[in-house]
């Protein structure tokens, strides 16, 4: 999976604030703290520092949604890390919130007007987390 593959799938999944570019994926992949799970159909990118893992992005190609791939990627992550896992999700992204809630994540906060849409409107981000191991 190349950074260009990741960027192409990401562009099909996200418009807010904007899809990530191939060079941004390359920069993240060059970091010793960043890990990538999945394929060009569905991928999960995280950054782990000490006992905290941040979900940077989770993207499933529209042609492959509702096939359990995102759930499987989260399970794979949960099998490989310990400690706190956290993420931000748009308050209007009910499908993603449902996925994370079913995976054991709980809402712990809100960032008001965090995401900006191309039309200038804004959406809050929900902060979700769960603790693994110990």
Q: How far is CA 85 from CA 11, 43, 129, in A?
A: 25, 17, 5
User: What is the total count of domains within the chain?
Assistant: 1
Which of 49, 77, 43 lies closest to 61 in space, CA to CA? Answer: 43
Q: Which residue is catalytic, options 52, 54, 100, 105?
A: 100
Instruction: Give the pLDDT of residue 119.
Output: 85
Largest Cα–Cα distance of the chain, in whole Å? 45
Q: Which residue has the higher pLDDT, 92 or 16?
A: 92
pLDDT at 128: 98
Q: Which of 24, 52, 54, 88 is catalytic?
A: 88
Is 88 in the active site?
yes
Q: Determine phi and psi for 37, rounding to 5 degrees.
A: -120, 145
Please say if 52 is a catalytic residue. no
**Single pTM value for the model:** 0.93
Q: Domain of 95?
A: 3-132
Residue 40 has pLDDT above 90, yes or no: no
Here the CATH number for the domain that contains residue 73 is 3.40.630.30
């Amino acid at each position: 999976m190349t950074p260009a593959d990741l960027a192409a799938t990401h562009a099909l999944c996200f418009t807010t604030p904007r899809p990530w570019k191939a060079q941004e994926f390359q920069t993240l992949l060059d970091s010793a703290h960043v890990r990538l799970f999945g394929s060009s159909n569905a991928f999960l990118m995280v950054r782990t520092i000490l006992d905290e893992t941040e979900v940077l992005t989770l993207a499933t190609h529209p042609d492959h949604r509702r096939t359990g791939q995102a759930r499987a990627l989260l399970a794979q992550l949960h099998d490989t890390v310990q400690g706190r896992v956290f993420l931000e999700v748009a308050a209007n992204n009910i499908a993603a919130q449902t996925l994370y809630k079913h995976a054991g994540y709980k809402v712990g906060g809100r960032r008001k007007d965090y995401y900006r849409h191309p039309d200038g409107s804004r959406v809050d981000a929900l902060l979700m987390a769960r603790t693994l191991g110990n």
